[in-house]
Structure 1
């Protein structure tokens, strides 16, 4: 009797194990999709680069293609010295980008939380954010340099300005997407605005936060290049004009290619992290920007 019942009613699989299995499958799928997108992006950029050179009819002395840059880094007799020079400049630029990224993203997060908690704060601060977004950074640069000098603070301010607005908009949007019913439940149990923020709004905004980080990574590199070009004179942004004026076109193209490749790599690393984390949490990433 027991054997018959067991055969007719097989044991139910462990629900927790099933959830873990589904999470691992979702993670593998998200990781594979992200890596495929990254590889296709690299191939697409390289093809477009070469096609642009073919159809632009520029002199090979000035316009360098993928093969020229590869030879500069790995084939020429001075390839090791070339790599060391460009990599040293890139390291400085990445350090500056980290400063701008941290400053801009932190301000964006604090600003978005302020918007969520106070409508008056949003009405007061959003015009300032729009002003920083609409006025070219080149116009602000002399004032920023005059106030903060040409060192760390200027890099943080310029990089933060570039990162701030898109990150602020993404995070603020995400904080507004939390379920009203869930917020009301927290309120019924005595939770105030802070409790609603920490228990409901912030977790629900995780996809938007990752979107903000994803957009901020290339923005931070752009801000670092601008700060180096306009203020500090270091890193890739500081030397690139010198390469152009001294007709060092191999160095110029290699620098541009390396910083572009770095931006693509970092962007896609964030996308992979985003897809992996959200897949394990059963959430979906926001639309790619």
Structure 2
């Protein structure tokens, strides 16, 4: 029997029960706080939206408020037909967002690990990352589409990765740089190298920063998907917005924008709730937001 197992078996049952109860309370508090933040954000968005429609002086023919969108989707006579029209567009944008999110996060993680292992790699690659960040994506999109092909999954992946990469990379690098120097020194004393220190100390300790990168990347991935649909595929919400605007279908236009905004907020808060649950179970205090 290992020493750790022996300590667990000989521990005070009351102390173990109290520890579990404290973790359960902390978990419920973090979930409640996350749901409360999500409700506040949703209410603020609705109020701002209604204020813009009511007080901006835009013609009611063009500007549609929350009630108009609700009636279009749920209360009108043709609501079922309207939902059937919007559902494939939303699904396509979610698929494209997932592609950009996955490729962007994986690229950011790989680059962050390589940068942590080699300053030469960082010096050679980081300027390119910064260049992609500073150049407007619309200006380089024709080159991306020329290389990857118009309407292809590759074009969606490249555009989404460019949008997601830099903020995710910056957050993950920050987390890896905060590793305990004492723990890394212990690894080196026992003969471990950079890779061992990274695997045993830096990466486990960068969990909060990894979740922060995921949260930031969710709206970035949706933005990248909309850009890819607008510039390359012509599908999903991004492609439909152009068609709705050109055909003066303003109710559909506002509904599409409202749906993708709502979905982005939901995805962001889902990631935040998962983050809080994981960090509490790992014994790390979630950040107060």
Give the alignment's TM-score, normalised by structure 2: 0.93
How far did residue 16 of structure 1 move? 3.1
Match of 2:101 in 1: 101
The answer on whether the counterparts of 1:112 and 1:171 sit within 8 Å (CA) in structure 2 is: yes
How far did residue 61 of structure 1 move? 0.6
Match of 1:203 in 2: 204
The answer on whether the counterparts of 1:208 and 1:286 sit within 8 Å (CA) in structure 2 is: no
Larger Rg: 1
Measured in 1, the distance between the counterparts of 2:249 and 2:286 equals 43
Match of 2:8 in 1: none
Could you say what secondary structure the match of 1:178 adopts? Answer: coil
Match of 1:117 in 2: 117
Match of 1:142 in 2: 142
Pairs within 5 Å for 1:48-127: 48-127=48-127
Match of 2:31 in 1: 31
Match of 2:6 in 1: none
For residues 179 and 188 of structure 1, do their structure 2 counterparts lie closer, same or farther at Cα, with a shift above 3 Å needed? same
Measured in 2, the distance between the counterparts of 1:279 and 1:96 equals 31
How far did residue 13 of structure 1 move? 5.0
Q: Which runs of 5+ in 2 are unaligned?
A: 1-10
Measured in 1, the distance between the counterparts of 2:125 and 2:19 equals 43
Match of 1:179 in 2: 180
Could you say what secondary structure the match of 2:162 adopts? Answer: helix
Q: Which whole-Å deviations, capped at 9, do the CAs of 1:119-162 have from their partners, x for residues lacking one? A: 11111111111111111110111001111002110000000100
Could you say what secondary structure the match of 1:251 adopts? Answer: helix
How far did residue 78 of structure 1 move? 1.0
Measured in 1, the distance between the counterparts of 2:172 and 2:287 equals 11
Measured in 2, the distance between the counterparts of 1:127 and 1:18 equals 51
Q: Could you say what the CA RMSD is over the residues aligned between the two structures, in angstroms?
A: 1.3
Match of 2:5 in 1: none
Measured in 2, the distance between the counterparts of 1:287 and 1:159 equals 29
Measured in 2, the distance between the counterparts of 1:19 and 1:201 equals 27
Size of the aligned set, in residue pairs, is 278
Measured in 2, the distance between the counterparts of 1:13 and 1:232 equals 60
Q: Which whole-Å deviations, capped at 9, do the CAs of 1:45-66 have from their partners, x for residues lacking one? A: 1011111112201111100000
Match of 1:266 in 2: 267
The more displaced of 39-48 and 188-197 is 188-197
Could you say what secondary structure the match of 2:60 adopts? Answer: coil
How far did residue 85 of structure 1 move? 1.0
Measured in 2, the distance between the counterparts of 1:287 and 1:115 equals 29
